[in-house]
Amino acid sequence: MDTPKVVLGVSGGIAAYKACELLRRLTESGHDVRVVPTASALHFVGAATWSALSGHPVSTEVWDDVHEVPHVRIGQHADLVVVAPATADMLAKAAHGLADDLLTNTLLTARCPVVFAPAMHTEMWEHPATQENVATLRRRGAVVIEPAVGRLTGVDTGKGRLPDPGEIFEVCRRVLARGVREPDLAGRHVVVSAGGTREPLDPVRFLGNRSSGKQGYALARTAAARGARVTLVAANTGLPDPAGVDVVQVGTAVHLREAVLKAAADADAVVMAAAVADFRPETYTAGKIKKKDGKEPDPIVLVRNPDILAELSADRARADQVVVGFAAETDDVLANGRTKLRRKGCDLLVVNEVGERRTFGSEENEAVVLGADGSETPVPHGPKEALAEIVWDLVTRRLS
């Protein structure tokens, strides 16, 4: 394939400096990047920086190099346009089709996928005008990633922060790989659980498992790149928040259940990729459990944790909600998977073989996706992201 051509639109938000890092990531990974800042963006980062980092001339207006008709050409030749940060003003202009500078003209002439990474104060983001503009852009097929929550300009904190540039880069990479295909999860809300629960014994010890959360994060990232609103319920992963994803951190199975059920109330699909402990210690000791001289330790009594997957499947928040489970098996993988699918009552069960050195923590996975309709989709050994795409393909088929 030729070098992919990316237009990086930068509008006038305080986070414009973070777009320099996104630009570096894009150029260093072999993309030809043309930066199109707005006049306001140049108040934050100068044209010299964009030009030197991208290796291309930079202008904000349609009146430079008119013989090359840049207001049409740049958009027409792009494989991807990403606007980061996208100001409230830029979202409004894009939603209404205004074309009063080079970036807004480019947005109208581009026929490739378009990603907006909005960043602004919480009030601006939550304003009905902005929300309606975002809904319009999403309806037309743009991927608008949710801003992150955190420190804003000055001392304020809240939703509106530009996600980490590395994570925006991941969205761009996935959207580019999908090409002009419709973001088929646009308008959908999906919930993904990831990681492994920890069931505390005392303030310093817990019963846990080896799940890293990487498969769940791959599911969250791919769903965001396919246009979904994503809630990721993360249990003890220590991984960076994916761009455009609402992350809810939890610790135990009971916390995970609460968070998943709450988010599932208006979800189109729920994918339970987290490794949830089946049992937890019956008692929690408030002080650290001490060795007693000459005595054997007290046995640990376990009690059952709630079966979240079975509960979600039985009491669906919406009749058309798609519920997906994961089954990690160490032996008799397929037979155990089929029994589990029937017992849990979910629509799809991703069955994979695990062991001390298999799957957990690795970047790769191999699985069979069993359907309640009797279907079997083998997924060959490959990146967790590839498995995630197949899961969403199967989910979207059931949603439509």
Ligand X SMILES: Cc1cc2nc3c(=O)[nH]c(=O)nc-3n(C[C@H](O)[C@H](O)[C@H](O)COP(=O)(O)O)c2cc1C
133 lines the binding site for ligand X (CB under 6 A): no
**Token pair in block for residue 252:** 């135990």
Given the residues 105, 209, 236, 305, the one annotated as active site: 209
Task: Please answer whether residues 145 and 171 qualify as being in contact, where contact means their C-beta atoms are separated by less than 8 angstroms.
Answer: yes
By the rule CB under 6 A, 211 interacts with ligand X? no
Q: Is 250 exposed, middle or buried (0-12, 13-18, 19+ CB in 10 A)?
A: buried
Q: Which residues pair with 378 in a beta bridge?
A: 368
Give whichever of 116 and 392 is closer to ligand X, judged by the CB atom. Answer: 116
Using the structure block, give the residue that is written with the tokens 């210690």. Answer: 281
Quick one: DSSP state of residue 357? T
Burial of 298 (0-12, 13-18, 19+ CB in 10 A): exposed
Q: What tokens does 205 get?
A: 């010890």
Taking residues 150 to 189 in sequence order and writing x for each that binds ligand X by CB under 6 A, - otherwise, the string is ---x------------------------------------
Q: What is the DSSP string of 14-34?
A: GGGGHHHHHHHHHHHTT-EEE
Residue 133 vs 305, nearer CB to ligand X: 133
Residue span 297-316 as binding mask against ligand X, x where in contact by CB under 6 A, dash where not: --------------------
* Cβ atoms 167, 115 nearer than 8 A: no
Q: State the burial class of residue 293 (Cβ atoms within 10 Å of its Cβ: 0-12, 13-18, 19+).
A: exposed
Per-residue x/- track, 36-65, ligand X (CB under 6 A) = --x-xx------------------------
Q: How far is the CB of 155 from ligand X (least distance, A)?
A: 14
88 binds ligand X (CB under 6 A): yes
209 is catalytic: yes
Question: In terms of CB distance, is 137 or 228 closer to ligand X?
Answer: 137
Q: Crossing angle, helix 165-178 and helix 214-225, to 10 degrees?
A: 60
For residue 385, state whether it binds ligand X (rule: CB under 6 A).
Answer: no
User: Does residue 12 belong to the site contacting ligand X (CB under 6 A)?
Assistant: yes
Task: Compare residues 89 and 268 and give the one whose CB is closer to ligand X.
Answer: 89
Among 6, 8, 9, 13, binds ligand X (CB under 6 A): 13
Residue placing its CB nearer to ligand X in the complex, 87 or 237 = 87
- Minimum CB separation of residue 5 from ligand X in Å reads 22
Q: Which residues pair with 247 in a beta bridge?
A: 232
Minimum separation from the CB atom of position 320 to ligand X (A): 36
Interface with ligand X by CB under 6 A: which range of 10-18, 195-203, 241-249, 354-362?
Answer: 10-18
Binding residues among 110-129 for ligand X as defined by CB under 6 A: 119-120, 124
DSSP single-letter state for residue 288: P
Q: Which stretch binds ligand X (CB under 6 A): 51-59, 62-70, 86-94, 252-260?
A: 86-94
Question: Minimum distance between the CB of residue 73 and ligand X, rounded to whole angstroms?
Answer: 21
Helix (H) or strand (E) holding 159: strand 157-161
Here the tokens at position 292 are: 């007693």
Of 90 and 176, the one with the shorter C-beta distance to ligand X is: 90
Where do the H-state alpha helices sit in the chain? 18-28, 41-44, 47-54, 70-76, 88-96, 102-109, 122-126, 128-139, 165-178, 214-225, 253-264, 308-314, 333-344, 384-399
Question: Using the rule CB under 6 A, which residue among 6, 19, 58, 90 binds ligand X?
Answer: 90
Q: Which is nearer to ligand X, 38 or 321 (CB)?
A: 38
Contact set with ligand X (CB under 6 A): 11-15, 38, 40-41, 87-90, 119-120, 124, 153
Residues marked active site are found at 209
